Amino acid sequence: MSDATKRPIRSNLGRGYSLNKMRWLQLALVTILGTTSSGCANVERSRDLGNPNVPAAVTAVQVCSNCHGKDGNSISPNFPRLAGQQSLYLAAQLENFRSHQRADPEGFEYMWGISRKLTDEQIKGLADYFAKQTPQANSAVDASTAAAGKLIFENGLPAKQTPPCSTCHGPKGEGMASFPRLANQHQDYLVKQLNVFRNTEGRPGTPMKQITHLLDPQEITSVAAYLQALPPN
């Protein structure tokens, strides 16, 4: 090794800097800011969440796709699938994130910031974009767990006065207006959201608090498994 690099270079941090160098720094910053702040916004490929002129379809692929997939079929179960989701439901959720009414942990951690400056028009556009995407099959789940979930989904749990999920969410889990599509949704996401409904006030204003009130963890796991494995329709 050369003498110069025998010792960590950080420990060579020296004895001050000259005004000359400061001038370079300023010059560089001024150049950067000067050349860039004068309106070269590129709305066709922008990731700006504070510019109302960025079309929703651009935001969907430039920003939302990072977690939800560019066609709304997210890979990671941390993030819900949005492909084929009901447009009304999606718009309502974005509005609830924006107004902080929806305060489940992931909603707070990820979506409050994303939605904070979206306009109503952008929200509508984003909801329509993902509603139009084609849902893809999700990965397989344990068959016996899914079979138990199917019974709950189709028949409910009369002993617990839990209605069949299909009543509102459709016989194929396809959703209906403000009732979300559940088919092909990630099991882990569904389990977490059912627990948010059941155990917290993080998602107010839906009948789900009451419906999930008496569900036990196994029932929640089963119905979520069934929904993940539903074929795309």
Partner 1 sequence: MQSHTKRGSAGIMLLVVFLLALITELLPMEAQAIPIYARQTGQNCVACHAGGQFPELTSYGRLFKLTGYTMGNRADVPLAVMATASGTSVNSKTPGTGDTYADFPQNGLVHFTTASIFAGGKITDNIGLFGQWTYEAYAQQDPNGHWAGHSGSDNFDLRYADRFIDTNKDLIVGASLNNNPGVTDVWNTFNSGFSSIGPGYVPTSNAAGNGGPFVGTPASPIIMQLGPIAAGMNAYLFWNNTVYAEVGAYQTANRIFSFLSQGIPDSDMPKLKGQLNPYWRLALNHDWGANSAMVGLFGMNAEIYANSPDTFGPTTRYRDVGVDAQYQYILDPHTISAQFSYIKENQSYSDELWDSSNPNYAGSFSNSSNALNYLRLKGTYVYQAKYGASLGYVAVTGSADTLAYTSSPDGNGNPVPFGNANSTPNTHIWIPEIFWTPIQNIRVGLQYYKFTEYNGSSANYDGNGRNASDNNTAFLYVWGAY
Q: Of 75 and 177, which CB lies nearer to partner 1 in the complex structure? A: 75
Residue 33 in the binding site for partner 1 (CB under 8 A): yes
Q: Residue 69 is encoded by which pair of tokens?
A: 């997939």
Select from 88, 101, 104, 106 the one that contacts partner 1 (CB under 8 A).
106
Select from 95, 128, 142, 188 the one that contacts partner 1 (CB under 8 A).
188
Q: Which of 40, 61, 43 is nearest to 52 (CA)?
A: 43
| Alpha-carbon torsion, ordered 161, 159, 170, 84, to 10 deg | 90
Residue 63 in the binding site for partner 1 (CB under 8 A): yes
Residue 34 in the binding site for partner 1 (CB under 8 A): no
- Residue 92 burial (CB count, 10 A): 20
For residues 105 and 97, the answer to whether their CB atoms sit within 8 Å is no
For residues 104 and 203, the answer to whether their CB atoms sit within 8 Å is yes
* CB 134, min distance to partner 1, A: 9
- Which one of 74-82, 86-94, 119-127, 163-171 is the stretch in contact with partner 1 (CB under 8 A)? 74-82
Residue 201 in the binding site for partner 1 (CB under 8 A): no
Residue 70 in the binding site for partner 1 (CB under 8 A): yes
Q: Residue 122 is encoded by which pair of tokens?
A: 């952008």
The 8-class DSSP code of residue 147 comes to H
Select from 91, 92, 94, 114 the one that contacts partner 1 (CB under 8 A).
114
Residue 3 in the binding site for partner 1 (CB under 8 A): yes
**Which residues are within 8 A (CB) of 117 and not within 5 positions of it... i.e. 6 or more apart?**
49, 50
* CB 215, min distance to partner 1, A: 20
Q: Which of 185, 158, 156, 181 is nearest to 170 (CA)?
A: 181
Binding residues for partner 1, rule: CB under 8 A, are 1-17, 20-22, 24-25, 28, 32-33, 36-37, 40-43, 45-50, 61-63, 65-67, 70-71, 75-78, 105-106, 108-110, 112-114, 116-117, 133, 139, 188, 192
